[in-house]
Amino acid sequence: MQILWSFPQLIVNPREGALPNVVIGINWICTASDDVNSVSDTGTVMLGNPNPAEFTPYDQITYTMAYNWVAEGISMEVVQNDVLAKLAALSAPVIQPQNPPF
């Protein structure tokens, strides 16, 4: 089984005070997959006001930074457990009762 976090879109405010292109939110996808099935959950984490002393320009934001910001905003463990449970349910055989042939 594999879990993958991706951040397909950053929500950007063109200007916040003197700061240009400020990331104010991150859309995320958590995907759990095995050899056959794949299950995803999605969401958005909105970020607080940036600290000008620690501001990172939009074009310098890394995957690790986005991951850490999302981790501060949600319980990634809860999300991962949820997608793993959904994946396990897909992989489990469905038992349907049948009437006997007599």
Token output for 28: 């995320």
Is residue 3 a contact partner of residue 30, using CB atoms and an 8 Å limit? yes
Is residue 16 a contact partner of residue 49, using CB atoms and an 8 Å limit? yes
- Range 60-81 average pLDDT: 97
The pLDDT of residue 56 is 93
φ, ψ dihedrals at 73, nearest 5°: -100, -20
Q: Which of 25-39, 41-55, 83-97 has the lowest mean pLDDT?
A: 83-97
CA distance 57 to 81: 33
Q: Which of 36-45, 71-80, 83-92 has the lowest mean pLDDT?
A: 83-92
Is residue 7 a contact partner of residue 26, using CB atoms and an 8 Å limit? yes
- Range 32-48 average pLDDT: 95
